[in-house]
Structure 1
């Protein structure tokens, strides 16, 4: 009787482990759930940033910070015991606009469907840097320029 019970318990334990492994593997190919919904647009222009119907003139902005490292399909590094979905939905990006009067700060989250999609706005980002709105180190981080020689070449082209 006891050995029969032990055998059943062993089978159940093996099945539970197998179900856990299958769940973990399936989660590696699924996108995390979107908390909310995606709406609106962001337009980066040389002289202004338009968010939906709101227009922010660059001359009235004190500082712009861009966090654009997330993209749709990016593998999310999780603990090995986490059974959640492992692919990012690409919405953990933000543009923070601090106005000159410092009374208004606007944070806009945005979606990137491909890695470093923000680089498509390189011309505008360089212009914002030249106007003193984006710090040099943040600019090269946004544009994903890491190599010393590339940084020096880029520096000479924008001056």
Structure 2
């Protein structure tokens, strides 16, 4: 039995550094743009203009500091770790709901994320670059057509390799395709794949 923590994303708007910076800077600059470009106000700047300017400048400065420091900071969790994903030979449990293997038609797993993985920031972003390892997805398609999925946490790149025995069993039961299985386990190269096929054969003979 192998267990992973389930990640439940927070619903609604999450106030990221990027959203905060642009929510402050853009309105301030927009007011000045409308006032002096569109309405063609020519009077001297007053204290209100100075306040808007320094607020916008301060927010952009904050964003720059957050962007640079983001290379060594972890991203906010944006939710909570709650519940468990449990992989067993004959069943899979997702957040206290158990599904027998014979109820499942297909299993899909995306396990590219792990704790402290570096993600290159997108242009204009002021977010942290180190992952929390929660952007992994486990999905089962039931015989009824219903899809059940969850996000789960990995601390290391291939924590899911701990569940190799269960995953091989799922493959032999026709729930995971071979190409997807080697993708999940990070197996590549002709020799590695050849050895893994032998491992599957030995596993099958021992059952």
TM-score (norm 1): 0.83
Q: In 1, distance between residues paired with 2:62 and 2:105? A: 54
Q: Which has the larger radius of gyration?
A: 2
RMSD: 2.1
Alpha-carbon deviation of 1:82? 2.5
- Tell me which of 157, 167, 171 is aligned to 1:129: 171
Count of paired positions: 145
1:138 is matched with 180
Q: In 1, distance between residues paired with 2:124 and 2:113? A: 23
Q: Which has the higher helix share?
A: 2
- Tell me which of 51, 75, 98 is aligned to 1:32: 75
1:8 is matched with none
TM-score (norm 2): 0.64
Q: In 2, distance between residues paired with 1:99 and 1:23? A: 44
Which structure has more relative contact order (CA 8 Å, sep 6+)? It is 2
- For the 8 Å contact 2:135–2:151, the answer to whether it is kept is yes
2:161 is matched with 119
Pair 1:89-2:139 in alignment:
no
Going from structure 1 to structure 2, the CA distance change for 1:60 and 1:19 (only over 3 Å counts) comes to closer
Q: In 2, distance between residues paired with 1:24 and 1:146? A: 35
- For the 8 Å contact 2:83–2:96, the answer to whether it is kept is no
1:6 is matched with none
Alpha-carbon deviation of 1:114? 1.3
Deviations 1:94-122 (A, max 9, x none): 110000111x1101110111111111100
SS at match of 2:107: strand
1:12 is matched with none
SS at match of 1:149: helix
1:1-159 matches, cutoff 5 A = 22-79=65-122, 81-102=124-145, 104-159=146-201
